[in-house]
Each structure stands twice: as C-alpha cells, then as structure tokens.
Structure 1
Amino acid sequence: METETATRWLSDTEQRTWRTHLEVSKLLMHQLEKDLQPFGLTMNDYEILVNLSESDESRMRMSDLATATLQSKSRLSHQITRMEAAGLVRREHCESDRRGLFAVLTDEGMETMRRVAPQHVASVRTHFIDLLTAQSQEELRAALAPVAEHLHGQRGKL
C-alpha cells in the first residue's frame, strides 16, 4: 500500500500571495516584452544582449550563456541563429576547445543595446520600480532573497 503524505494546502493568505505573485510576474513580463517590440526584440533577445554586453570582451561561451539565461543549449542555439540573422551577435570558435563556441556581441548589437537600454529602464521604472517606495523595495528584496537562494541551489540538481 502506498504511503500518503498530508498535503499542506495553501491558506487563504498564502493563496492570495501566490496568485498575486503569478499575476504580477506574468503582467510585468508581458508589458516589458510589449515595450521591446518596437525595437524588434524579445525579452530573451534583450537578456542575451545584456549578458554579452556585460561580459569580458562582449563574449560568452554558449554553454555559460545558456546557464545564465536559463535556456537549454538547443533553445539558445536557435535563439542565437535568429539574432545572428539580425546582425546582433556572431558565433566564434573557441581556440582552446574545438567543440566550444562563443556568442559575441557585434557592433550592431552593442548599438542596439545603447538605443534600447534607456527605453527598457524607463519601462522597468514605469511599470515596477516607481510604483514601490524605497522601503517596499527593500522589503520585497528581503522577502524574495531566500526564494532566489533556494532556486539557485536547485539549478545544480537539474
């Protein structure tokens, strides 16, 4: 006979907290994505551009970029192919590992970042940061930190 463990159902308060989090996460990402559309970018595109623009020599190993963006290597490869066609990135072989590839930000990709980043930051401010007091921001950061830490620990177990 199978052993049953008691399900710890969410209380009304916990349910409201969870559903509010889901609603805000979905709506915010939808809005940020919508605000990137005039530039021909998706949130995935923008995240890749940010990672590359902040890395040494504007380049990252594909495997590291996949990890940083929480994408499978296959999904990232397709994403990079689309971004290459748009002239935003290019692939380069790794001299020390013949199987390894780098994603490299092109000049056009960097120019796109310079053009889009101010608009994206304005969108983040309008739809998130400016709606919270400094104290609320600190409380939210403190409340979410244990969740982020837990989930970062789970990544290694996948």
Structure 2
Amino acid sequence: MSADETRWLSENEQELWQIIREFLWQFPSAMDRQLTQDSNMQTGEYSVLAAISECPGTSYRPADIAEALRWDRSRLSHLLRRMEAKGLISRHSDENDRRGQQIQLTDLGWQTVREAAPSHVTFVREMLFDSLNEEEGKALRSALPKILDALGKYNAGATCKADASEMAASCPNS
C-alpha cells in the first residue's frame, strides 16, 4: 500500500491511539509487578493457574489451555514444564486419548492461586474498574469485543497465510 492509499489517522484517532498504546505498555508491566510482589509469580503462571482453576472439570488438556489463553502451544509447553518443576501442576495421560495429556493443579497450585487471587482482583479493580464510571464501563464493554473480533479475524488470516496447506480447513471464505 502506498502512502497515497493509506487511510491516515485523524488528530482525534491519533490521540486515542497514543493513549491505547500507552495503556498497552503500562498495564502489563504493572500487572507483572503486582503478581511478582504479592505472589512471587509471573503473569503467565497466574493465567495458567486461573484458567485451570476455572475449568469445569478437574483437569484440562494443554491445547484447551492454549486456546483459552490465546497462546501458541510452544509458549505454553515451556511454561507448563517450569510450573511442573515448581510443583504447581501435574500431568497425567488423557483417558480418552492416550497420546495426549491432562493438566491439573496440585495442592500447591490450588493454594497458590487461592492466595494470589484476592490481591490480583484488587489490583484489577483499582486499576481498571474503579477509574471508570458506569457509562465508561459500558462503552469499554461494547468497544473491546469489537476490537477483539477484528483481531481474531486478522490473526486467522495471518495463520492461513502462514500455512497454506491448512488454509481451506481453518479459514472460512478462502
């Protein structure tokens, strides 16, 4: 796309983009600091513990955890190894698919997520929700799913372009 074809941001859009960009840089760093200081864990570890603790059964397949967190399986696999070494999770064979594994929280994993949750929820409440009035919260709740939908479509297209052999199976309208 040439510069002549580019749909440049208006002044208001540019200002909003700079605010969003600043949020994207600051919020994850602040959340990492909170989890490290209060619970001695990384955001990724907390995310996995929370995802497993919230699943309907007692264990979760790694692929389901990756999908729930929107992570690639390689990233998750490395983290699961470290978490298993710390005693936070255990792995066992999948009863339905002997080639696969199920991940479950150990007693230490349950204790860790239960102890971390109150301060983490307080952080999220204070940083996000307490700073918004009801109307702003509704606007954000309306806007973010639309943005996530656009990102999902973009990421699906990128996946299709990256692996043309799976294009027809994984990407609609191709």
Q: Paired residues, what number?
A: 156
Secondary structure at 2:151 match in 1: helix
**Aligned position for 2:124:** 124
1:77 counterpart letter in structure 2: S
Query: In 1, distance between residues paired with 2:91 and 2:49?
Result: 14
Q: CA RMSD in A?
A: 1.7
The 1:156/1:60 distance shift into structure 2, 3 A limit, reads farther
Which residues of 2 match residues 1-158 of structure 1 at below 5 A?
4=2, 6-38=5-37, 39-157=39-157, 158=159
The 1:154/1:100 distance shift into structure 2, 3 A limit, reads farther
Please report the TM-score for the alignment, with normalisation by the length of structure 2.
Answer: 0.82
Query: In 2, distance between residues paired with 1:90 and 1:18?
Result: 42
Q: What's the offset of the Cα at 1:154?
A: 4.0
Query: In 2, distance between residues paired with 1:110 and 1:116?
Result: 10
2:113 counterpart letter in structure 1: M
Query: In 1, distance between residues paired with 2:12 and 2:34?
Result: 33
Query: In 1, distance between residues paired with 2:140 and 2:151?
Result: 17
Secondary structure at 2:97 match in 1: coil
Gaps of 5+ in 2: 160-174
Query: In 1, distance between residues paired with 2:120 and 2:9?
Result: 35
Query: In 2, distance between residues paired with 1:97 and 1:58?
Result: 17
Q: What's the offset of the Cα at 1:120?
A: 0.2
Q: What's the offset of the Cα at 1:25?
A: 2.1
Query: In 2, distance between residues paired with 1:30 and 1:58?
Result: 31
- 1:12-66 CA-to-partner distances (Å, cap 9, x unmatched) read 2111111211111221111111000032211111111111001123321111111
1:59 counterpart letter in structure 2: S
**Aligned position for 2:163:** none
Query: In 1, distance between residues paired with 2:72 and 2:144?
Result: 25
Query: In 2, distance between residues paired with 1:30 and 1:113?
Result: 20
